[in-house]
Amino acid sequence: MIKRKKLGQHFLNSKSIAKKIVSEARITKKDIVFELGTGTGILTPLLCEKAKKVISIDVDEQLVRKAKTIFSNINNLILKSGDGFKNKDPFSIFISNLPYSKSKNAIEWLAQTPFSHGVIMVQKEFADKLFAKSSKNRKAVSIIANHSFEIKSIFKVKKNNFSPPPKVDSVVLRIIQKNILDKDLIHIIQKIFSYRRKTVKNILKQFNKETLNEKRLDDLSGEEIINLANQILGK
């Protein structure tokens, strides 16, 4: 359990919540589900009941070995150990209880990956970033997520539903893909936010571009920031 704490992972221990997550994923027998983080396998067999195929990956080899023993009789399950963000297998639905330390990476990876929709559980603090109404509270990941996905908060999960319990509550989100972003655009959006106190005119100067726009980043809408990033890339 100490190792999993270092990874920022907390195991969901509520079967009723697991069933609710699977239900919200709206899986059909045509779907290939990618589960990032096999964990104790609380979701895995439920996903297999609904899907054509489930690909479940966990960074912890010991957990994967245990899952292979427990679920050896499930024919539509592929279990792998390793970095899930290096997965090249196509999938239609993404499911994960995301470790807080990996939530930002997951959003950026999903923004570059073709799929239909997903259900993710994130800590409340991260969900607040995605739903930030004030431009001053937005982060680069807020812009990336909201341009890439339709995001809806489904339900909250109290911290006592995990082992070990995290410090804060979690939120289950449904995401539907709208746009696929390339790696260069994501990098530029992040770079723009490193200059967020500068005017657009001075931000563009950092990239040898010119404009008369004296607005600051907090004055721009999400789509205007995407357009600014595309302008920098010459798109």
Q: Domain holding 25: CATH number?
A: 3.40.50.150
Q: Please tell me whether residues 59 and 78 are part of one structural domain.
A: yes
Looking at the structure, do residues 75 and 136 belong to the same domain, yes or no?
Answer: yes
pLDDT on residue 8: 52
Q: Are residues 111 and 194 in the same domain?
A: no
Q: 175 and 190, same structural domain?
A: no
Q: Which of 162, 180, 198 is the last residue of a domain?
A: 180
* Alpha helices per DSSP H over 15-102: 15-24, 44-50, 61-70
Q: Please give the torsion angle defined by the CA atoms of residues 155, 99, 106 and 184, in that order, rounded to the nearest 10 degrees.
A: 130
pLDDT at 2: 37
A 10 A CB-CB count for 103 gives 23
Structural domain containing residue 211: 185-233
Radius of gyration for the alpha carbons in the chain, expressed in angstroms and rounded: 19
Strand ordering across the sheet containing 149-157: 77-81, 53-58, 32-36, 93-97, 117-123, 170-177, 149-157
* The pLDDT of residue 5: 43
210 plus 162 within the same structural domain? no
Query: What parts of the chain have a pLDDT lower than 50?
Result: 1-7
Co-location of 174 and 189 in the same domain: no
pLDDT attached to residue 227: 95
Q: Report how many domains make up the chain.
A: 2
Indicate whether 125 and 173 sit together in one domain. yes
d(CA 83, CA 109): 12
Do 127 and 25 sit in the same domain of this protein?
A: yes
Co-location of 151 and 226 in the same domain: no
pLDDT (0 to 100) of residue 65: 97
212 and 135, same domain (yes or no): no
pLDDT at position 6, please?
Answer: 44
User: Is the domain of 88 the same as that of 109?
Assistant: yes
Same domain flag for 108 and 71: yes
Task: Read off the tokens for 147.
Answer: 């341009």
Candidates 110, 131, 121; CA nearest to 155 is 121
